Amino acid sequence: MRIGVVTFPGSLDDGDAARAVRIAGADAVRLWHGDPGLHGVDAVILPGGFSYGDALRCGAIARFAPVMESVEDAAHGGMPVLGICNGFQILCEAHLLPGALTRNQHLHFRNRDQHLRIASTSSEWTNQFTEGQEILIPVKNGEGCFVADEATLDRLEAEGRVVAYYTQGNPNGSQRDIAAIANEAGNVVGIMPHPEHAVEALTGPSLDGLGFFTSVLRALAGSSAGAQHAGGTVR
């Protein structure tokens, strides 16, 4: 499996995301913001950082990078896409996910290990967890407060599209303690905390982040097997 990791000017966590992909057992393919080519990858990760210096709004400029047009097309076609932190912000700006990430309610940058509860295992990035599972991964953001109108929040919860909630404290004021959401199809997921920083005992608070990366490998293996059975027409 080939998992693409996009580097924008100002990306910080592209190296860690690529490393997490390799630890999960896949090939990490580095993608460049100015190159619309996806180079045959099976899934794409938009990493954390401060793309384009967070000019205007976080993710607002990155959304128009040449690579994003290809990522948007691929996402609409069913390719798994994971946006972490700044990547989540980019996915919202690109309207691949609903809502927006705004300034932390208390105005402080938060950098700590954060407990989450996995609320949906039907997304392509969380199928290796169990529903209700508590995990611990780092969170680090200044603009991670998830907001959406009440109707959107109700729909996300009713449709099982809240992928993870903050527990034991909400680090940024996100509405309804939402930490991660998925699109309707479950192939696009945005998460504010950082699973890629929790894949090795030496540097992470746990190995809980690894599940996101092994999940997509399972989803891809399942869909290619399914595609063979169904004559290649899955998705």
Partner 1 sequence: MSRVVVDVMLKPEILDPQGQAVANALPRLGVNSVSSVRIGRRIEIEFAGDPDLDTAHEIADKLLANPVIEDFSISVDAPREDA
Nearest to 63 by CA among 90, 25, 28: 90
**Position 57 contacts partner 1 (CB under 8 A):** yes
**Smallest gap, in angstroms, from Cβ of residue 90 to partner 1?**
12
CB of 98 to partner 1, least distance (A): 8
* Cα dihedral across residues 176, 87, 36, 219: positive or negative: negative
196 in active site? yes
Q: Does 92 bind partner 1 (CB under 8 A)?
A: yes
Binding range to partner 1, per CB under 8 A, among 14-22, 92-100, 114-122, 214-222: 92-100
Cβ contacts of 93 within 8 Å, gap of 6 or more: 57, 58, 59, 60, 62, 63, 100
Q: Which residues contact 118 (CB under 8 A, 6 or more apart)?
A: 126, 129, 130, 131, 132, 133, 134, 135, 163, 164
Please state, in angstroms and rounded to a whole number, the distance separating the CA atoms of residues 60 and 86.
10
User: Is residue 105 part of the contact set for partner 1 (CB under 8 A)?
Assistant: yes
Contact between 151 and partner 1 by CB under 8 A: the answer reads: no
**What's the rounded Cα separation, in Å, for the pair 127 and 82?**
14
69 binds partner 1 (CB under 8 A): no
* Active-site choice (93, 124, 143, 196): 196
Could you tell me the maximum CA-CA distance found in the chain, to the nearest angstrom? 53
Residue 55 lies near partner 1 (rule: CB under 8 A): no
Work out how close the CB of 147 gets to partner 1 at its nearest, in angstroms, rounded to a whole number: 6
Question: According to the binding rule CB under 8 A, does residue 149 interact with partner 1?
Answer: yes
Closer CB to partner 1, 147 or 185, in the complex: 147
Query: What is the binding site for partner 1 (CB under 8 A)?
Result: 56-57, 60, 64, 92-93, 98-100, 102-107, 147-149, 173
